[in-house]
Structure 1
Amino acid sequence: MNDITVTSECPELAEPYLRQVLDTAGLAVEYVRAERNTLYRRGADGEEIPVSDFAGGYGSVLLGHNHPEIVTRARELLTAQTPVHAQFSRHPYANHLAAALNRVIHRELGTDEPYFAIFGNSGAEAVEAAVKHAELDRGMRISALLEEADGRLTAARSAVADGATVPAEVCARLGVPATEGFASVEREIRRRNEKSAASPPLFLALEGGFHGKLVGSVQLTHNEGYRLPFKSLAAQARFVPNGDADHLRKIHAAERRTLLAADVVDGRITVTERELPVFCAFLVEPVQGEGGVHPLTAAFAGEIQRFCADIDCPVIVDEIQSGMGRTGALLASSRVGLRGDYYTLAKTLGGGIAKTSVMLVREARYRKEFEIVHSSTFAKDSFSCHIALTVLDLLERDGGRAYRRAEERGEALRAVLDSVHADFPDVVKEVRGRGLMLGLEFHDRSGASSAELRELAGSGLFGYFLAGHLLRRHRVRTFPTASAVNTLRFEPSLQVSDAELEQLRAGLREVCALLRKEAVAELLPSGD
């Protein structure tokens, strides 16, 4: 048998460049244990060093690391040898989870319309499933429209045979010779309809949005660094500035397509237009995570809802970071009056242990055919479904005590960030977010008098160096948002204590003081 012993001298093969980047910022730390809102690393003498976790698994551990009830449930399931690989069989636990999610969603939306569940393993996979389902639905709607147009052409042809006339203006509008009569009209209508129907789907998404890095979802992510290298692989998106309803209407005017139909009115052939569903879906985060923690306003949520209803474009609400109680409700979007045709949930759904996600589709949009053409090896398994049911129970227990806790802890965290902003307005630009999903944006330092600070500001790693200093000097773990590196994110668990909040306050105040003094050397790993 081969010796598979691994030593510390083995070469770095697991994403070595990322390791190098983390090293540069002082963030390449191995954590050896986790509980509540704390991660532990090893010190030089082997002792455990606690680190207050304000990154929270990018929103995955709202209930805390290794929550005792979730761990107990996981042990019970594994001890009972619960099946993980039992695909293509009956999964009652998945149905129980879907029903439990529906009960909460119905309460928050004030509706009784069912949402059907398609399970996955990650947030990006849930987005991919939503996009695939929306495109299946779009294709089926286009087929129905073409069939209807074909039927109306057949009826019009029969009417012409019975004496209906083809006005010259109809031929002129279509650019066909009047001498050929209805035959040229029919031929041109079919040609145009086939061309319009073959138009590739377009997606709408917000500037600053992040929906994953898989083949489809990366094209819906606004950050060009992630998207453009793969632009030829998937359908394209049109990005809308957050809050700009006029831009929405301009995009629609530029991209809309129609199908033509022939009708008979008073013995004369007329040609009418029907809107073709070019836009497959509009993807929205109620609170943008990677884009800098920008909340969606109720006013713009209403504009999106009305616009999409007018053109029959489904709304996919991406609740992967903001959902599952982080903002004080299961759905952050319910707080701003946005109702989705689709919802994607992940991260906290797995309780910080199971890797699971779900895509929910409302009954009015659901296509049963999707269940045959889409599948996922690990999805809908007993382990992850039972863990997710435990998570929902913890959120809903005692009349939703966890939601109230998220709001209360969020207000306490906001007070800390606001106090830092108030004392350092020349350093901190803004505090944004909702509940336990907050961001603190620093002013751009590219115009600083210090050449070292200008270089740091232009490195693309500004926020990572600040996070590295907080980790090394103050034992506080956070990260910048991926597409807005001047913004630090704060997504701790419900377990975050007042002492940890004060620890964060002290750390941020020192960072701000160093930036004010332009003391770059003290912010870098070599300065500690």
Structure 2
Amino acid sequence: MTENTGPHTAGSEYAEPFLLAVLASGGLDAEYVRGERNTLYRRGENGEEVPVTDFVGGYGSLMLGHNHPEINAYAKELLDGGTPVHAQFSRHPYANDVAAALNRIVQRERGDDESYYAIFANSGAEANEAAMKHAELDRGLRLAALAEEIDGHITEVTVRVADGTAVLPAGSADSVEELAAEVRRRNEAQFARPPLFLVPEGGFHGKLAGSVQLTHNEGYRLPFRALAAQARFVPRDQPGALRKIVEEERAKVLDLTVEGGEVQLVERDFPLFTAFVLEPVLGEGGIHELTPAFAQEVQQVCAETGIPLVIDEIQTGMGRTGTFLAATRLGLKGDYYTLAKSLGGGIAKAAVMLVRRPLYRGQFELAHSSTFAKDSFSCLVALKVLELLEAGDGAVYRTAAERGERMLAMLRAVRDEFPEVVKDVRGRGLMVGLEFHDQSEAAAEPLRQVARSGFFGYFVAGHMLRAHRIRVFPTSSAVNTLRFEPSVYLTDEEIGRLETSLRDVCAIIRDTDGGSLAPVA
């Protein structure tokens, strides 16, 4: 029998002990006991609650803040009413309501009547995996149809040569059987090629076996390279780079036709690319918004080549950048959209993959499933979230844009005061980043050590937490960039507290040896 040691197990750490040690090294191993709006509360030395202003926002999951009272009250009502969480393989009208609401919103933002079917999931990474799998299923079915069509043509040509209604061209194979065998041999090599995905450099789409291969950061991707389809990463600042990559990887298969009574060997396009997957604003890659020029090139190339476009709105969507979809401002229109994070209102694990109706493959619903997806609780909470976002003709979206501009203005003022410390400020709405100059060659040895540790942003975040009760984190693939993703209820006072903490950090980097950024052991 295992001894029950109460709410905190005594002795060794068993829950991700390495990560806990990393957090401790940066002074970030705080335990939070309560949250509301943009505030988390940690327990002080005497047991009192210590407020911490939270600019992490659940990595974009808290558009409506911690413990939104309407969402919590509704969740309690659902649970008290015994709403079924496990009623798989049955009718789910609440899921259909979420899908219908999302269709209305997406159609409004796209400015068309394109409709989407929905596959539900528990997390953003799972929604991305669903999009990857559906796109590959679609590609596989198109490949099968192409192979069947070519095989039919080969059979037809063989019959026509045999009955004398078609002849082989001069200088070709000695027999139609030999020509057919060569076509099949060369096509088999092409059909055996593994698929490829296209992703912008700096992209991040999760850490599951498939989605991690779409993540540009090699530290996350390369250890698992053998497990899933690979990606070609496209430079965002090189016009024409996408077209060049597509041309380099362009694949052809051979087909036989008859023209004017003569057999012709023709090339057919082979769909090697499963999809192009992108975030309108690169989150973990350092808060970089795609340029309109790059977005236009992606849209054009995908349309010309028939490559499906998957728009990952998991961190950028739900109004965070001032519109429900961050792709709206860029004019991007996806064949797929993935949504999660704030869709769950900060309490439910809700995610969805939307796929454009003409591309939809119904058999995917039997090939892909998830135990907790599409349940009553998460779907009804998601509906409440959408209701709150859309209320007042989208007042939340306008507030996000206004509050974001106020935060950006403050960050730009800090940059202008400390140009030797702050390299850039960027972002849109309530998804903003501040990038520090690389300090790995700083004159002061303590500052150089912090910068060369690979955890610079985490040490900065630790100082801001200890000294100012401000909670921030760097982006995972660009650790010199701090990310700020608070809720729409961000106040001027909270922005002021962030400003004070950043000015302190910048002064430490500029004026001292930087030793105070690392916690005292």
Same fold (TM over 0.5): yes
**Residue among 514, 517, 520 paired with 1:523:** 517
For 1:373-412, list aligned pairs within 5 A.
373-412=367-406
Partner of residue 34, structure 1: 35
**Residue among 279, 289, 295 paired with 2:283:** 289
- What displacement does 1:519 show? 2.9
Q: Which moved more, 1:481-490 or 1:143-152?
A: 143-152
RMSD, aligned CA: 1.2
Partner of residue 466, structure 1: 460
User: Are positions 1:198 and 2:174 aligned together?
Assistant: no
Change (3 A) 1:103 1:256: same
Q: Distance in 1 between matches of 2:517 and 2:3?
A: 43
- Partner SS for 1:380: coil
Deviation sequence 1:61-85 (CA, Å, 0-9, x none):
0101000010011000000000000
Partner of residue 100, structure 2: 99
- Partner SS for 2:416: helix
Deviation sequence 1:418-441 (CA, Å, 0-9, x none):
110111111000011111000000
- Is contact 2:115-2:357 (8 Å) kept? yes
Deviation sequence 1:282-327 (CA, Å, 0-9, x none):
1100000000000011111110011111111101101010001101
- What displacement does 1:351 show? 0.3
For 1:54-203, list aligned pairs within 5 A.
54-161=55-162, 162-169=164-171, 171=172, 178=173, 180-203=174-197
- What displacement does 1:259 show? 1.6
Deviation sequence 1:150-208 (CA, Å, 0-9, x none):
12222222222224221135x2xxxxxx3x22111111111112221121111111111
- What displacement does 1:254 show? 2.1
- What displacement does 1:469 show? 0.6
Q: Distance in 2 between matches of 1:443 and 1:371?
A: 48
- Partner SS for 1:280: strand
Q: Distance in 2 between matches of 1:69 and 1:504?
A: 28
Q: Distance in 2 between matches of 1:318 and 1:458?
A: 32
Partner of residue 490, structure 1: 484
Partner of residue 175, structure 1: none
Q: Which moved more, 1:345-354 or 1:512-521?
A: 512-521
Q: Distance in 1 between matches of 2:64 and 2:474?
A: 22
**Residue among 423, 432, 439 paired with 2:426:** 432
Partner amino acid, structure 1, of 2:258: V
- Partner SS for 1:364: helix
**Residue among 355, 359, 380 paired with 1:361:** 355
- What displacement does 1:364 show? 1.5
Q: Distance in 2 between matches of 1:518 and 1:204?
A: 44
- Partner SS for 1:360: strand
Q: Distance in 1 between matches of 2:187 and 2:371?
A: 39
Runs of 4+ in 1 over 4 A off after TM superposition: none
Q: Distance in 1 between matches of 2:11 and 2:304?
A: 60
Q: Which moved more, 1:112-121 or 1:8-17?
A: 8-17
Q: Distance in 1 between matches of 2:268 and 2:512?
A: 61
- What displacement does 1:9 show? 2.9
Q: Distance in 1 between matches of 2:5 and 2:29?
A: 23
Q: Distance in 2 between matches of 1:152 and 1:200?
A: 25
**Residue among 483, 493, 517 paired with 1:499:** 493
- Is contact 1:206-1:241 (8 Å) kept? yes
- Partner SS for 1:343: strand
Partner of residue 444, structure 1: 438
Q: Distance in 1 between matches of 2:178 and 2:446?
A: 72
Q: Distance in 2 between matches of 1:8 and 1:95?
A: 43
**Residue among 191, 203, 207 paired with 1:209:** 203
Partner amino acid, structure 1, of 2:166: A
- Is contact 2:445-2:513 (8 Å) kept? no
- What displacement does 1:3 show? 3.6
Partner amino acid, structure 2, of 1:447: E
Q: Distance in 2 between matches of 1:295 and 1:181?
A: 58
Instruction: Give the gaps of 5 or more residues in structure 1.
Output: 172-177
- What displacement does 1:133 show? 0.3
- Is contact 2:310-2:335 (8 Å) kept? yes
**Residue among 298, 305, 310 paired with 2:299:** 305
Partner of residue 335, structure 2: 341
Partner amino acid, structure 1, of 2:290: L
Q: Distance in 1 between matches of 2:242 and 2:473?
A: 32
Partner of residue 4, structure 1: 4
- What displacement does 1:244 show? 2.7
- What displacement does 1:453 show? 1.3
Partner of residue 416, structure 2: 422
- What displacement does 1:5 show? 2.5
- Is contact 2:450-2:518 (8 Å) kept? no
Q: Distance in 2 between matches of 1:298 and 1:363?
A: 26
Q: Distance in 1 between matches of 2:226 and 2:185?
A: 27
Partner amino acid, structure 2, of 1:355: K
For 1:315-326, list aligned pairs within 5 A.
315-326=309-320
- What displacement does 1:8 show? 5.5
Q: Distance in 1 between matches of 2:293 and 2:129?
A: 28
Q: Could you tell me the percent identity over the aligned residues?
A: 61
TM-score normalised by structure 2 residue count = 0.98
Q: Distance in 2 between matches of 1:284 and 1:244?
A: 16
Q: Distance in 2 between matches of 1:433 and 1:307?
A: 26
Q: Distance in 2 between matches of 1:373 and 1:339?
A: 27
Q: Distance in 2 between matches of 1:3 and 1:196?
A: 60
- What displacement does 1:450 show? 1.1
The number of aligned residues is: 519
Partner of residue 24, structure 1: 25
- Is contact 1:275-1:311 (8 Å) kept? no
Change (3 A) 1:137 1:79: same
Q: Which moved more, 1:234-243 or 1:459-468?
A: 234-243
